[in-house]
């Protein structure tokens, strides 16, 4: 079918086009419409805010508390803490807290009487003052139990409200208290690794959920082995009871990574009851206290002398007569031999005289340089706060007598952990590795380590430690199958500027296994008493030494060490000859 096309003249086309031209825009009308819409939105927003204010006015503190609690979860999260094997040591849970709006309290005395049905530990005078105030908010008790919350619900006391807060819990109780530390009521770390978490957070968890007590971060993996920690605490507790001591402490260190596998200081405390930590007797002695370690220090002096080359294993010193320290005073040997002693004999007989002569050959300046190199003259910084500051003579007062007494562990006081870390450098091939309470790999440790003695010096010192267990004061730690080496130390405690011979800190420093050293341990018992079975003696060979043996027997399997009964118990001379080859 053909399609007809109508032709339109130009004037007609012009008329048709002009009919489709839009009218002129009225900008005033558009502005008015927009203004109406905007005004409506503003009224709606103010209406919502006004409504919220009414809610807050009707029940202000409950609403504020809920918002504050929710914000706290987001703003102050704390990572869980686990041991090196993933066992939970510290975590957060949500718990109710009780507060009041005093303006809503109908009868203060009745309210106090009803609260007494649930709580028996409130400060009632303080509560009375709070509830009689004109304030709109007053804490009654924070971190209450669900049972207490239910009782309060049943009582229906007007003017009381609940708020949910985070509470830190420690499932192991006292077991690792000085490592973990604790938090205060506001969830801020006040000691131990909890203080460390205040300033350091682990990697964030992907897709975390706020309702999971605000667990935003991955757990902090500590260096502690909870199984080893249990054994250490158990054996030290038994030692305190058996020897009627006032305190005890112990440390197990991986000498290659610097990881603290166990650290116990007794008396300790329950971090679930943080106020216990305020008692002086419960202080962390291993990192916070400084002590003269006695003859265990001779390992360091021996390492210093051998490494500086002032003597060798074939050398020796005359210990026939006491050594003068001036002003008519002399130092002698406990059960001295009264003769010339070889270097191995100096160590196994623990000769003060010969050790002091070795230190005098080294000299003051080199002695100071060596002690500084192994970090004994500076505060030891770890993840735990509150480290003790070493005490020793100033350079001006570091006299000949200082060089002498420091050589055998008197006249210088360091933290036990400091002493163990320095001794570890003598055993691990000659590297000082800073100790840590956070799990660390060998590769990470290599980044931090620094050489302080030659490898051959370390080899000789390991042989001397084994010799002392075979033939010297450490015989009671010769645990079958584990090739233990060690050194005793019995330090008289300074009381009012004088040494008290009746008050000792008895210590045993051990390393195992000596054919391939891996772990170093220090056990110290504060003021042990003599027993009939110890013939009245209270020196380390009678208490710290057997305690160490008991610990090694129990922890070696936990550390993956199988006993080796194929080793032959050779004598000291053969042992030292073997170490030199």
Structure tokens, 441: 């790999």
Task: Of 409, 400, 378, give the one whose Cα is nearest residue 300.
Answer: 409
88-100 and 81-82 as β-strands: parallel, antiparallel, unpaired? antiparallel
SS3 assignment for 111-173: HHHHHHCCCCCCCHHHHHHHHCCCCCCEEEECCCCHHHHHHHHHHCCCCEEEEEEEEEECCCH
Phi-psi label, residue 187: left if phi above 0, alpha if psi -120 to 50, beta otherwise? left
Q: Is 509 helix (H, G, I), strand (E, B) or coil?
A: strand
User: How far apart, in Å, are the Cα atoms of 160 and each of 108, 113, 135, 136?
Assistant: 12, 14, 13, 11
DSSP state of 515: T
Q: Give CA–CA dist 333/361, Å, rounded.
A: 19
Which residue in 91, 223, 265, 295 is the catalytic one?
295
Task: Please spell the DSSP secondary structure of 259-289, one letter per residue.
Answer: BEEEEEEES---TTSGGGGGSGGGS-HHHH-
524 catalytic residue (yes or no): no
CB 416 within 8 A of CB 315: no
Q: Give CA–CA dist 388/417, Å, rounded.
A: 10
Length of the chain equals 581
Torsion of CA 239, 244, 248, 250, to 10 degrees: -10
Q: Give CA–CA dist 288/268, Å, rounded.
A: 13
Q: Give CA–CA dist 216/238, Å, rounded.
A: 41
Q: Where are the beta strands (DSSP E) in 365-470?
A: 431-432, 450-451
Q: Give CA–CA dist 35/32, Å, rounded.
A: 5
- Cα 406–Cα 409–Cα 413 angle in degrees, nearest 5: 90
Question: Would you give the distance in Å from CA 289 to the centre of its chain?
Answer: 14
Torsion of CA 530, 535, 539, 544, to 10 degrees: -80
Could you give the residue numbers annotated as active site?
295
């Amino acid at each position: 079918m053909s399609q007809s096309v109508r032709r339109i003249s130009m004037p007609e086309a012009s008329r048709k086009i002009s009919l489709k031209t839009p009218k002129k825009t009225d900008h005033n009308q558009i502005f008015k419409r927009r203004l109406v819409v905007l005004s409506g939105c503003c009224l709606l927003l103010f209406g919502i805010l006004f409504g919220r204010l009414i809610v807050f006015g009707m029940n202000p503190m409950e609403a504020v508390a809920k918002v504050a609690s929710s914000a706290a979860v987001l703003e102050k999260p704390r990572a869980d803490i686990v041991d090196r094997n993933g066992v939970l040591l510290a975590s957060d849970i949500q718990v109710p807290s009780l507060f009041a709006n005093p303006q809503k309290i109908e009868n203060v005395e009745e309210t106090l009487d009803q609260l007494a049905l649930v709580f028996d530990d409130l400060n009632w005078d303080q509560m009375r003052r709070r509830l009689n105030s004109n304030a709109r908010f007053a804490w009654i008790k924070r971190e209450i139990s669900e049972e207490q919350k239910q009782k309060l619900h049943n009582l229906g006391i007007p003017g009381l409200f609940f708020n949910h807060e985070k509470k830190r819990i420690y499932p192991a109780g006292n077991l690792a208290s000085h490592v973990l530390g604790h938090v205060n009521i506001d969830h801020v770390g006040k000691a131990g690794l909890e203080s460390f978490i205040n300033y350091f957070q682990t990697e964030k968890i992907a897709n975390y959920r706020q309702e999971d007590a605000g667990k935003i971060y991955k757990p902090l993996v500590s260096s502690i082995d909870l199984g080893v920690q249990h054994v250490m605490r158990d054996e030290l507790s038994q030692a305190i009871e058996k020897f009627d001591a006032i305190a005890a402490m112990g440390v197990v260190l991986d000498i290659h990574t610097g990881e603290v596998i166990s650290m116990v200081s007794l008396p300790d405390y329950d971090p679930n009851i943080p106020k216990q930590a305020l008692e002086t007797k419960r202080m962390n002695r291993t990192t916070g206290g400084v002590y003269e370690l006695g003859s265990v220090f001779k390992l360091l002096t021996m390492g210093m002398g051998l490494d500086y080359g002032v003597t060798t294993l074939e050398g020796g010193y005359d210990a026939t007569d006491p050594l003068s320290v001036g002003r008519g005073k002399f130092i002698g040997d406990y059960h001295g031999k009264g003769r010339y002693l070889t270097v191995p004999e100096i160590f196994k007989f623990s000769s003060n005289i010969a050790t002091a002569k070795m230190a005098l050959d080294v000299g003051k300046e080199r002695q100071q340089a060596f002690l500084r190199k192994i970090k004994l003259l500076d505060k030891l910084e770890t993840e735990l706060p509150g480290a003790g500051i070493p005490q020793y003579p100033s350079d001006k007062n570091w006299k000949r007598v200082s060089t002498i007494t420091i050589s055998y562990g008197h006249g210088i006081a360091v933290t036990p952990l400091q002493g163990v870390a320095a001794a570890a450098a003598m055993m691990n091939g000659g590297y000082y590795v800073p100790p840590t309470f956070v799990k660390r790999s060998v590769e990470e440790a290599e980044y931090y380590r620094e050489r302080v003695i030659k490898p051959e010096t370390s080899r000789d010192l390991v042989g001397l430690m084994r010799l002392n267990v075979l033939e010297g004061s450490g015989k009671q730690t010769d645990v079958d199958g584990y090739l233990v080496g060690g050194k005793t130390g019995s330090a008289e405690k300074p009381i009012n500027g004088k040494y008290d011979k009746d008050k000792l800190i008895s210590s045993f420093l051990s390393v195992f296994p000596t054919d391939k050293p891996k772990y170093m341990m220090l056990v110290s018992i504060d003021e042990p008493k003599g027993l009939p079975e110890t013939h009245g003696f209270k020196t380390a060979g009678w208490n710290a030494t057997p305690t160490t043996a008991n610990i090694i027997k129990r922890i070696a399997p936990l550390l993956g060490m199988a006993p080796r009964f194929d080793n032959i118990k050779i004598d000291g001379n053969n042992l030292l000859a073997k170490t030199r080859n």
